[in-house]
Amino acid sequence: MNKVKRTWQINGEEHQTEIPPVRRFLDVLREDLGLKGTKEGCGEGECGACTVIVNGEAVLSCMLPAGQVPENAEVTTVEGLEKTPGGRLLQAAYAEKGAAQCGFCIPGMIVSSYAMLSRDPSADPARIREAHAGNICRCTGYEKIVEAIQSAAEQWPAGTKG
């Protein structure tokens, strides 16, 4: 059989899988593991709705062959954010500032925010914009998203990964 075995820590839980190696990681998350929070907006790496974090880096699950997600990788999807202080902070800020409208880009957007702030809890709007240029939103004009991230950055728990 054309399958590889991988064990991953997804949102803090261990998942053992056996998957076709070039199956899109997005399909593994949504269809095989039932984690439907992650969205597909374009299927070609342009919109960022499928963004997840693998070992600390934001990646696009629609163009990531699942077999390339390393053994024992730590994976964070939108469903995992509420398990972390930083994630909860971001969720509250997104809700309060009106950063979500239709909400379809939000799982990818807020995961990008979490990846960025975990590495660089900067409230500088220029850096926030650059770190989110790979996440397309058609509703908000991005203003309230940037506001929300700034607000979360200002309260980001110091010295933690969030």
Paired strand residues for 8: 15
Residue nearer to another protein on the CB measure, 21 or 157: 21
CB of 117 vs another protein, minimal distance in Å: 13
Residue nearer to another protein on the CB measure, 46 or 154: 46
Q: Is 92 exposed, middle or buried (0-12, 13-18, 19+ CB in 10 A)?
A: middle
Secondary structure (DSSP) of the chain? ---EEEEEEETTEEEEEEE-TTSBHHHIIIIIS--TTS--SSSSSSS-TTEEEETTEEEEGGG-BGGGS-TT-EEE-GGGGGGSHHHHHHHHHHHHHT--SS-SSHHHHHHHHHHHHHH-----HHHHHHHTTTS--SSSTTHHHHHHHHHHHHTPPTTS--
CB of 79 vs another protein, minimal distance in Å: 5
CB of 66 vs another protein, minimal distance in Å: 9
Residue nearer to another protein on the CB measure, 107 or 121: 107
CB of 32 vs another protein, minimal distance in Å: 11
CB of 132 vs another protein, minimal distance in Å: 5
Residue nearer to another protein on the CB measure, 75 or 128: 128
Residue nearer to another protein on the CB measure, 97 or 162: 97
